[in-house]
Amino acid sequence: MVFNRKGYFGRYGGCFVPEILMPALKELEEAYFSLGKEKDFQEELDYYLKNYAGRPTPLYFASHLSQKLKGPKIYLKREDLLHTGAHKINNTLGQVLLAKKMGKKRIIAETGAGQHGVATATACALLGIKCAVYMGEEDVKRQSLNVLRMRTLKAEVIPVKNGSRTLKDAINEALRDWVTNIETTFYVLGSVVGPHPYPTMVRDFQSVIGKEVKRQIMEKEKRLPDYLIACVGGGSNSMGLFYPFYKEEKVNFIGVEAGGLGLNTKKHSATLASGERGVLHGALTYLLQDKDGQVRLTHSVAPGLDYSGVGPELSFYKETKRAKFTTVTDKEAISAFFLLSEVEGIIPALESAHAVAYLKKNCSQFKNNLVVLNLSGRGDKDMCIIERFLKEKNNE
Ligand SMILES: *Cc1c(COP(=O)(O)O)cnc(C)c1O
């Protein structure tokens, strides 16, 4: 396999961190590859995934959408039905359970839009462990509902006043906390990014998605799908879907990034489609930077896709052409958001709507193909963004 002990996928990944963080990452690596692989741990995690989070999620044949798009036979993997409304809970339950087994007394996390913060606070409330979430001051203002959810779950939300007061500054602040409190504290990362072992560990926790799809599609169609499609922010829902099919060479992977206002505007988050190689948050990967090497601010109508990096394993998939990466714009995503809501009665998260938009735009290319699309989350959280969009449209 492409993975080795140092966490490289081809040339991507690794562990580019200040020396002071190395002991904590070493401890985590050892714990994950021993405790995390034990039967007891797996059984306990499976118990919570099933009885608490709501797994397995359905693989739903979207007959109306398939008919409307007149090309592919489309199945939706319903991660939107999980507790807290998205796939993120698969990962936070795994990491928080591991933290408890390691005897850690305190969890920290960073969050942008607040979804990962809520999923972490939820797992901490369930498993009875203290939780602090770093969040940029700008995001605290923009995402007041999620801040209230976290506080209701008894997490401490710490506004970060540095830099652009958004996600990347929150990550830096969380790392600073970790360095100071290494003995007692576990850092729960929200996607397949960061230094080794996070990209591998988060991918493993999310792989439950692809494993279920494999079993479910064989039951329903007696064959593997032609295409797997997922949106890509940091890359965890896409890796979770793709990874169990890695060796099935006939199964094609498509990752859809946020094209925002268009690739020529710089207001987008299309890391793999238009970025360069570099080191971000401890890993060698693709990222968006300006000509001076500063990390660029990103934009997407979907809060969860608004990140300037991407998981190193997806960079490897790009380089080896195992997956294809593409983009759709904010407008195309919003149009797909309404389409899925109207024809299937499923209001998708704006992130997931990017994947739907790609299929909608290119449906003629998928004639008679069997397609599985990962519906990573539900759209309740995005209704204010939609309201604003409709108001602006009416004023035009
Ligand atoms: C956070 C989020 C994403 C993006 O994160 P990935 O790590 O790329 O999966 C996608 N969809 C939803 C619903 C999210 O909440």
Ligand 1 neighbour 113 (Cβ under 6 A) = no
Total count of residues recorded for the chain: 396
pLDDT at 169: 86
Ligand 1 neighbour 304 (Cβ under 6 A) = yes
CA of 231 to the centre of ligand 1 (A): 7
Ligand 1 neighbour 351 (Cβ under 6 A) = yes
Please state, as a whole number, how many other Cβ atoms lie within 10 Å of the Cβ of residue 224.
16
Please say whether the beta carbons of 195 and 17 come within 8 A. yes
pLDDT tens digits for 14-54?
A: 999 989 999 999 999 999 999 999 999 999 999 999 999 99
Task: Say which of 29, 110, 257, 344 is annotated catalytic.
Answer: 110
Give the mutation target among 189, 191, 351, 373 for probing the ligand 1 site: most ligand atoms within 8 A of CB: 351
Alpha-helical runs (H) found in 55-114: 63-69, 88-101
The residues facing 157 across adjacent strands are 133
Q: pTM here?
A: 0.96
pLDDT tens digits for 99-130?
A: 999 999 999 999 998 999 999 999 999 999 99
Three-state SS across 185-222? EEEECCCCCCCCCHHHHHHHHHCHHHHHHHHHHHHHHC
The residues facing 289 across adjacent strands are 295
List CB contacts of 6: < 8 A, sequence separation 6 or more: 13, 14, 15, 196
CA of 19 to the centre of ligand 1 (A): 30
Please state, as a whole number, how many other Cβ atoms lie within 10 Å of the Cβ of residue 372.
27
The residues facing 374 across adjacent strands are 77
Active site residue 376: yes
Residue type at 339?
Answer: L
Active site residue 100: no
Active site residue 361: no
* Whether pLDDT at 190 is above 90: yes
Cα angle, residue 323 at apex, residues 378 and 91 outer, rounded to 5°:
40
pLDDT at 1: 34
CA of 280 to the centre of ligand 1 (A): 19
pLDDT tens digits for 46-99?
A: 999 999 999 999 999 999 999 999 989 999 999 999 999 999 999 999 999 999
Nearest to 357 by CA among 373, 368, 370: 373
pLDDT at 5: 59
Q: Which atom of ligand 1 is nearest to the CA of 86?
A: 13
* Whether pLDDT at 292 is above 80: yes
